Amino acid sequence: MLKLSCSLRSAALLLRPAAAAQPRAHFGTGPQQKHRTFYEFRTYCIRPDQNAAFLKLTNEKIHLRTAHSELVGYWSVEYGGLNKAFHIWKYDSYAQRAEVRATLAQDPAWVSEYLSKALPMLTSQDNEVTYMVPWSRLQSPLQEGGVYELVSFQMRPGGPAVWGKAFQAAINAHDAPGYGKLIGAFHCEFGLQNRVHALWWFESPDHRAEIRHTAHHDARVVAAVRNNIVNLDSQRNQLMLPCPFSPLK
């Protein structure tokens, strides 16, 4: 009798439906950053009556700053903002940046000849830490001269796992012969989250306007942009002129 009871229980276990596989949560938000190198975006708002003086002082004393870390580019905003300077600095690690900042604070020439004179000319300062997106590399313009456009996209929450492929497709659609030159695409790490930037180079403001007109009639570009805007909350464009001392000219 005991053996029969055990057999019936065993048969019941065999006939029981298999438990449904439990879903596993994946917290990855897209391709992971493989390099420690990051780029600090800095934006300075300048007093209107001090704009020319600030740029002149910076031109004369920037060597005191570039002696300590690499300057990628320095621009004056022409359209999309007034009395603004935008610059990008490259660092190999957070430790390097901390060391640079500490060294600068103890540099008497930097403090007395530049910082003490420049700070009163500013109304505000802002910065972001950004990484190159995995599929982008920092490029050079096709020639010296021309203008740069910084396009900042505020994407919807979710990260690159949600909008990364559509954003890449939209950028690549514009980065083609006959269009502008993509200098780099950046993803914000510290600052507003889900923000990405594309830095472009054009021969002139009119060249950029012509390309914009062409893009509106390019079915390939239009389709890529439409797929991307479903994930877009807002966008800001700034046209910038490189300063004489800017490595990216």
| Helix orientation angle between 219-229 and 160-174, rounded to the nearest 10 degrees | 160
In a shared domain, residues 96 and 144: no
How far lies 19's CA from each of 12, 83, 189, in Å?
A: 14, 65, 41
Alpha-carbon Rg for the chain in angstroms: 26
Residue 1 lies in a domain: no
146 shares its domain with 64? no
- Say if 79 falls within a structural domain: yes
Which domain-ending residue is among 113, 131, 149?
Answer: 131
Same domain, 159 and 196: yes
Instruction: Check whether residue 168 and residue 190 sit in a common domain.
Output: yes
Enclosing domain of residue 67: 36-131
Strand, coil or helix: 71: strand
Report yes or no on 14 lying in a domain. Answer: no
Reply yes or no on whether the pLDDT at 6 is more than 90: no
Q: Do the domain assignments include residue 72? A: yes
- Is 153 in the same domain as 213? yes
Cβ contacts of residue 36 below 8 Å, gap of 6+?
92, 93
| Last residue within a domain, chosen from 131, 160, 191 | 131
Confirm whether 27 is domain-assigned.
no
Whether residue 90 sits in one domain with residue 177: no
pLDDT of residue 31: 53
- Residue 28 is assigned to a structural domain of this protein: no
CA–CA distance, 236 with 49 (Å, rounded to integer): 25
Residue 155 one-letter amino acid? M
Sign of CA dihedral 133, 139, 182, 239: positive
Same-domain check for residues 158 and 183: yes
| Least confident segment among 17-31, 101-115, 170-184 | 17-31
171: closest CA among 132, 209, 204?
A: 132
Per-residue pLDDT of 200-214, as tens digits, reads: 999 999 999 999 999
Counted domains in the chain:
2
Same domain, 204 and 219: yes
Q: Are residues 99 and 142 in the same domain?
A: no
Domain match, 152 and 189 both: yes
pTM recorded for the entire structure: 0.85
175 and 108 share a domain?
Answer: no
SS3 content of the chain, % helix, strand, coil (to 5): 40, 30, 30
In a domain, 7, yes or no: no
CATH number at residue 240: 3.30.70.100
* Overall residue count recorded for the chain in this entry: 249
State which of 131, 155, 174 marks the end of a domain.
131
DSSP state, residue 33: P
Same domain for 161 and 240, yes or no, is: yes
- Flag whether 12 is in a domain: no
In this predicted model, what pLDDT tens digit does every residue of 130-188 receive, in sequence order? 999 999 999 999 998 999 999 999 999 988 999 999 999 999 999 988 888 999 999 99
Q: Which of 18-22, 86-90, 111-115, 239-243 has the weakest average pLDDT?
A: 18-22
